[in-house]
Structure 1
Amino acid sequence: MNAEILDTTKERRSSWCGSPMDSGRIVYAGFATKAEFDLLSSAERVGEWAACKTTTLLRNDGNQWERRCHSKVVGSYGADEVTVIFQWWDERVAGSEA
């Protein structure tokens, strides 16, 4: 079993951006690399590891996977502004210590 967090320094296939249908003021965005994410000067919040059924299903490697989210916010959720929530996700085999 792989006990390490996946290498988040490698470039991913694409960056992404999205907005929930019920909100025109909040945008979620991601980067191709963790280095790009780290360049944002906003404070970083790191969530707890949590089971991820989607990653487990997609990897289909016999392991249970978990993820945690790193996020940074630009904006203050004001009524007349767009707030952008930047996210970076780490993934690992459940129960792995890293």
Structure 2
Amino acid sequence: MSVDAATVRRIAHLARIAVDEAEILPLQGELNAMLAFVEQLSEVDVAGVEPMTSVTPMEMKKRADIVNDGGIADQVVANAPAIEGHFFLVPKVVE
């Protein structure tokens, strides 16, 4: 796949980048080089390669998925203008 001058202008327009006519040809070459590199990457055989999140093997830290109130309900509602129990009281806005 190669990029022509019209495509370079369109990309610049979509990216909201002001590009002079003198810069079109060099940008066309750079974009074509990038696309050629991506095409070259697609030729690599990755069958059997596991996806990884890091270059070092590690497991993500996980916590138990336990539902609780956090143990700080009093602190959460401490600055509320009106409360009832551990709930915020808000004025009615819909009739």
Q: Larger RCO: Structure 1 or Structure 2 (Cα < 8 Å, ≥ 6 residues apart)?
A: 1
User: What TM-score do you get using the length of structure 1 for normalisation?
Assistant: 0.18
Q: Identify the structure with the greater helix proportion.
A: 2
User: What TM-score do you get using the length of structure 2 for normalisation?
Assistant: 0.19
Q: Identify the structure with the greater strand proportion.
A: 1
Structure with the greater alpha carbon radius of gyration:
2
